[in-house]
Structure 1
């Protein structure tokens, strides 16, 4: 018997269906984004499953993640884009990682590592098309492109990609995506004028892949959609898109009891029973990633019963109300809409956040379990 009171069931078939659905939405190749421990689903598990389904490109934010991922996927193409000045990029080159360069210091650090190791650095040139975050500004790109062309001619760098990130792709009517695509095309021209022609162009993440076909280019980078969560459920719910939740979060009830009317529940008694009530304890809390804002607003499913959270979510447990609840029964917090369950997006709507945060914040005390 497991010593874990809770678990996240991670569905192999749901991931496969989502990959198939995303492939059906584009003629571009997929780059599976598996950063943040595959959005809380488990890096090794998800990466291996996606590779078995024919995905060749993978992306992770941080260099340490990319080095870990390389151990699981010896031959996949892996892009990483967050490293700071002075990071040991010789490790990245030794591991055959693709590196993003979007600033003069990053380009200099990559050049230094390539010369030190004698290995050609594979780079993706990042351009800022409207996020005001990472990447070369268009005004600075001609000088960078000239330097990149020199490094490519010398064999120090191989320009694999040109890429950027969309700010408002989850709002198809904003007009910002069309503006950013035009800036991206301008960047492409600047590189071409310097004699730099990347192997692949990639601009779209999940929302772009689903709702902006003109941004697809050679690669699309689905992240949250891989896991069966909508980039914006106000535009389309996951089930409307044809996506299945890969994670089902559940826990076994810890205790149950009858309490009279007028009884305060959990810290600060933010809920007081209005009548005789039957309460039970779910052994999950904010230390496990359950939003404290779910207090008194979210529900869980126990069998066919919908059981509301009563009182404050604590560090490692919270209280629910329902008829006939008993210790050992399974409470499901969220899962797939097609199973009639609350979804991560439902929890996000109730707690003033996004589905991305609901799944990716689930803590390491929650055991991940392979599911069909």
Structure 2
């Protein structure tokens, strides 16, 4: 399973994640109408904007407003706009609110990463031992993952770092191709003490500003070396969350990608896309509605569902949920054309599989005759 997805992630990386089309603000004149249609929603939203305690009340109101908030998020102009409208994301336990949004979209699927984690680790160790050729990564593997007293957090962290030796970063442009070390440093940053976190974040922001880029969600861990990490943080667009475990940080960023359509960093996108596909791909059925996740037989049925069930306007954000594709379209007609391309690809792949099966059976028959 791990081997198959690693191979598919490598050869289909170009289609994994694309930059979303940013939609401008809706005219402010529409807001009073919406407030009339959803008075309870706006009343609770107002409370959440101005209160952070008791946290139990925050959680209750957040769950009650989750469905309508998801629709607003899909029409938001940027991630900063979302966090500004919903300031509770900036609270210390804001990652719990991300999980509520994920649970709204995918009921009962929030724990999938942790259910598969130990099986994943056992499988990937064998692949590391056989396939890692990069010298530095090989030394890291032999130094840390061959000892018995290493903690779970350390072994999982090192495993995600070593994945970059298998899923090497793609070329950013014709002149720049990140190294394996670049991708590993981009995925997770190690600092010696808690006091080093903010200076590190400032330095990273400055580096991205020089490159005219934006600092994407990032994991920072605290420890003297990779075998002694003890604190785990997620940073995203000005937010800072302290998570209980390292894999909780990984889980949080993947869920941010699903719920808020964030982009992974280009340097480490290969590994992020692989982890997302391995742990969470089962939640995305073919031709699934990006709002309610109801599955449909074909693209025509999906478009009909969007118009009838959600009253979709001519201009909105339409996200493709098909295999290895998260393209976002601003026009329903372009979205429909794109879905038809997926259908053609699926048919072509099916024909290819049938031909391969026939060839295999023919060879067996020839072998039996001889």
TM-score by length of 1: 0.23
TM-score by length of 2: 0.23
Q: Considering fraction of residues, name the structure with more strand.
A: 1
Q: Considering fraction of residues, name the structure with more helix.
A: 2
